Structure 1
Amino acid sequence: MTVFAIETATRQIEGFDRSRMVIRTFFDEATFTASHVVHDPASRLAAIIDPVLDYDPSSGRTSHGSADAVVDHIRNNDLTVDWLLETHAHADHLTAAPYLQEKVGGKIAIGHLITTVQGVFAKLFNTGDDFRHDGSQFDRLFEDGDQFNIGSVPVIALHVPGHTPADLAYVVGDSVFVGDTLFMPDYGTARCDFPGGDAQALYQSVRRILSLPDHTRLFMCHDYMAEGRDYYAWESTVAEEREHNIHVHQGVTEKEFVAMRTTRDRTLDMPRLILPSVQVNMRAGFFPEAEDNGTRYLKIPLDVL
């Protein structure tokens, strides 16, 4: 991770006119996932961040209600999709990126260390030689500090490992889409007990994000409605997180955070959709090839996790 990326992001945030960007969020209550559509009103170019494919684990059936709501928004607003951005290989929902690519276009992108995640889970699921661990299922792999645009809106990719080794946050205009790095202040931070997770790395990643200007808007990937709150929320600011985040507010030391996060993670159940999600998401959302009977299958490893 480079200091240059944060310095560049800070200058971008401080100089950005918020009227140059429109953000629309779609919340999937079944997986507690916030997907975001960002567009440049001047060019009508857009990016979709962390889209959801509906999946019923009891029947193994997929559907597209959540993704179709995004498609309707794109078409109703006459937008052209440039990017389908993944913050990481999610363990709690299947990505709808390939479905959306087919419907509205866009390049599927993720952090370049997805190759590490692919290597770990290829062994778990015994994917065989046909599955490549080189990230080639994605159209673009971003590294820390990489810059691109959504129309005239500048974007910087920030590597923010900890939840997984490959997590990215996207600094879009004056806002950061933080993935699973942070939650709303009253809920805290992401777990770090998946393969390659690291509480110390997460602490450093959070501090990196919270070094940005106070007014920087932060958009979450999830909200689980913290106790005492009766509505879902997915937007805060650097100042709010720095002051009020229950796990990592200003003054919490790295040692304190690592002890808290490690202890808490031991009490958590595995995500309900982790096994189907990871198998699909490490493939950029594409399903495994059909077997000789024409049916595609996902694997359930027994007595391993």
Structure 2
Amino acid sequence: MTDNIRVDFDHKPEVVPFFDEPTNTFSYVVKDPTSKSCAVVDSVMEIDYAAGRLSLDGADKIIDYIRSHDLKLEWFIETHVHADHLSAAPYIQEKLGGRVGIGSQITVVQDTFGKIFNAGTEFARDGSQFDQLFEDGDEYTVGNMVCHAIHTPGHTPACMTHIMGDAAFVGDTLFMPDGGTARADFPGGDARILYKSIQRVLSLPDETRLFMCHDYMPNGREVEYETTVAAEKEANIHVHVGTSEDQFVAMREARDATLGMPRLILPSLQVNMRAGHLPGAEDNGTVYLKLPLNVL
């Protein structure tokens, strides 16, 4: 259950999506309906992996939108440490200000992947790269809008769902009803925990708007990013009402066993566990991302 979390239907934020097609990722600008304040959820920095080149075209579109609408950026929300795209939060923050927040279990992710990437003692594993570490049930504000962070692990230990007014940003916990649910086989993932987290989300009022982090356009349909709790309960192909925990776990574990690793998992994790910052340059002035072999 979501305990004392209250969905505020008196505040209906304006939610503007930005879609990164190569990674099927949605970023959002979320505006408080009663002020000029806004938040950015799950920004994207592009990478040409083969060429080793970064691009910030998508981030520039977000910056242009915020500036052209005279908005005040207060928060960057990372719903989790993404394994399929790189965060652009530091770049946008440098231009527009704001604070970067993520779930407090980022420290578990940092410890796990700090070892995998042999990051060394210069890489702090205490979450200090972020401005705010959210605990389950924490409140924060975007302008006059009270927002809530709820811990929804299972895909990763640090996954949080963020409720802003009548809208909930679920990260990778859920996809559109015809897309199902996120995988749970990354280090620290757990299908049984994911099921319990999904039930927390689905215990929100039926009319709560849900915003996806990804859409893979199953069966060739057009891209979609918004649904409701009611629609997920009725029609989610993996976890609709009536699906037991054991049924879900069996399905999820069998499905995950067939999946390859995301194409950008290795660069993404190295950057995102650092709050979107790159590793420090080496003595020749060049920044490197590592390719550890036979560890994932």
* Smaller-chain TM-score bracket: over 0.9
- Structure 2 residue 7 is the aligned partner of structure 1 residue 16: no
Residue correspondence of structure 1 range 70-149 to structure 2 within 5 A: 70-149=62-141
Distance 1:154 1:287 in 2: 32
Partner of 2:226: 235
Query: Residue 95 of structure 1 aligns to a residue in which SS?
Result: coil
Check conservation: 2:7, 2:204, Cα contact below 8 A: no
Measure how far apart 1:8 and its partner are. 3.0
Q: Which residue of 2 aligns with 1:290?
A: 281
Of 150, 157, 174 in structure 1, the residue corresponding to residue 149 of structure 2 is 157
Per-residue deviation, 1:41:
4.0
Matches within 5 A, 1:252-263: 252-263=243-254
Counterpart check, 1:247 vs 2:238: yes
One-letter code aligned to 1:251? G
How far is the alpha carbon of 1:153 from its aligned partner?
1.0
Counterpart AA for 2:51: S
Identity %: 58
| In structure 1, C-alpha distance between the alignment counterparts of 2:223 and 2:139, rounded to whole Å | 31
Determine the C-alpha separation between the residues in 2 that align with 1:256 and 1:74: 44
Structure 2: distance between partners of 1:187 and 1:230: 11
User: Number of residues paired by the alignment?
Assistant: 296
Counterpart CA distance in 2 for 1:291 and 1:277 is: 19
Structure 1: how far apart are the matches of 2:208 and 2:58?
Answer: 28
Cα deviations by residue, 1:256-298 (Å, 9 ceiling, x for unpaired): 0000000000000100000000000000000011011000101
Q: Aligned AA for 1:129? A: T
Provide the rounded CA distance (Å) in 2 between the counterparts of 1:42 and 1:175. Answer: 15
2:46 matched residue in structure 1: 54
TM-score (norm 2): 0.98
CA 1:303–1:17 in 2, change beyond 3 Å: closer, same or farther? closer
Corresponding residue SS for 1:78: coil
User: Which residue pairs with 2:32 in the alignment?
Assistant: 40
Corresponding position: 1:209 with 2:213: no
Task: State the shift of 1:154 in Å.
Answer: 1.2
Gaps of 5+ in 2: none
Equivalent residues in 2 for 1:270-281 (5 A)? 270-281=261-272
Which ranges in structure 1 are unaligned for 5 or more consecutive residues?
none
Across the aligned residues of Structure 1 and Structure 2, the Cα RMSD in angstroms comes to: 0.9
Distance in 2, matches of 1:80 and 1:138, equals 20
